[in-house]
Structure 1
């Protein structure tokens, strides 16, 4: 999931700045994508990503096997996200599946009431879907949440996920089983993408989401954007063709790869007075 080349690690520990830059930039996106799904808040996810990248950089000198840098970085990432003391704004809401279901039932309205263009509708529907699926995950405890994200969204094997979480495989499988059952029960009952008979549909959530500021279209539309527009109907049809046990996972995996530029900030920090102290750590060799 996190790919860090052995030669980049070796060169970075010898003081090669280009190698260090490449290493940080290669790690930032997978770390941010894991952090955003764990915290359901872009600002909190960027803060966590920055902290994780700095931790990785400042501990490169202690890494005994440069060839295993990716797995090592993933363990650091998972440990940091599970043990993070500060809660994101979404986590602070302390959502339960029951409370989240009640929230989704508040104020549904026809999409036409939003008065949007077709392009704006597609963007709004995708934002609603992304926001809902991220918030849904926070109904799980952090331990169950990260097990679900690793196994169902990023599709790590039991061996890989258990190693990343530093727990035994049977313990990981039990966590994944519990998380999977909870998410599946909820989506089958509430999510119109997973089940046509469910009570909640993205199109009915756009108006209340715009009113409460949970989504916004300012700056979201690039008139020169030639990317394929979000097609909710196609997603719904594809998900509902799957076996029910895989439908919820397919919904979660439908979210895009999220982008961040937090690596630039981390690399800037390396150019400050702290750079000297970091370089001393990087050039240390394990005993």
Structure 2
């Protein structure tokens, strides 16, 4: 798995070679450069809008912008910086959708979780998937939902810096701020999320009564988890900490980092039929017209 955020000598050279060929009309090179980054854009989008289907739509919007602006890339910055600036600007300014449709605060989110009654786990014979998968789905859905309580800038900063592990320098380049400013934004997002989880979530603080197993049936009853259509669990083949293994941030503040491990253990999602989905997008009339593809 290519990790675009690794900072090593020579990183990005393959991007440059593919971009050069793509700008000359090589469709295979265009597909290759987009596939190198598609899943990473998608994983950012999921944490901005929650619902994978909405995240696919956001990813397509970003990739269309990348394709239609590719001719303007002159190599004055790394292709990674150029591409993820487009991604960042899009997700910070796009229309609200998915989980963002109704604004959340930590207070309203805590109240919503408290209102979900504790129930025994469902009878294994009554559900179409293994019960532990339902518990995992509830955990991922709940902790992903917590991110929606952060404002967009905090959410994106946390996704880049804490979940994907980008450095302050790379994060600052993408967000178009200084490394110090990126680090300060990340510290605030960490603090706000950790304070909430420390007072609410049994995964972080064992003295909290909330437990994923106890809430799973309630999540099912409320429609937050659909046993017939899991949003997160069956869609991954690896975890964030595996896909982004080379980008692990140093511990640089006093916040308990146990909560961060929860997010690094989230699934690294891939769009359904990734290559076919991309090719269908490239066949859209507006894309073909822009690229003058054969």
TM-score calculated relative to the size of structure 2: 0.81
Instruction: Give a deviation string over 1:45-101, Cα, whole Å, max 9, x none.
Output: 1111000011111111111118821221111111110111x2123212211101111
1:106 deviation in Å? 1.3
Inter-partner Cα distance in structure 1 for 2:163 and 2:225? 23
Query: Which of structures 1 and 2 has the larger relative contact order (alpha carbons within 8 angstroms, sep 6+)?
Result: 1
2:172 to 159, 162, 177: 162
Task: Structure 2 unaligned segments of length 5 or more: list them.
Answer: 5-11, 239-253
2:130 to 113, 120, 123: 120
Inter-partner Cα distance in structure 2 for 1:30 and 1:264? 17
1:244 deviation in Å? 5.9
1:201 to 204, 207, 211: 211
Counterpart check, 1:268 vs 2:261: no
Distance 1:93 1:77, change over 3 A: same
Match of 2:268 in 1: 257
Q: Which structure features the higher share of helix residues?
A: 1
Q: How does 1:182-221 map to 2 (within 5 A)?
A: 182-218=192-228
TM-score calculated relative to the size of structure 1: 0.83
Native 8 Å contact 1:97 1:186 kept in 2: yes
- SS across alignment from 1:105: helix
Instruction: Give a deviation string over 1:181-233, Cα, whole Å, max 9, x none.
Output: 0111111111111111112110111111111221122255xxxx9x89xxxxx
Distance 1:195 1:30, change over 3 A: same
1:270 deviation in Å? 2.7
Match of 1:96 in 2: 105
Match of 2:86 in 1: 76
Match of 1:148 in 2: 158
Q: In angstroms, what is the RMSD of aligned CA positions? A: 2.6
Task: Structure 1 unaligned segments of length 5 or more: list them.
Answer: 229-242, 283-287
Inter-partner Cα distance in structure 2 for 1:60 and 1:124? 42
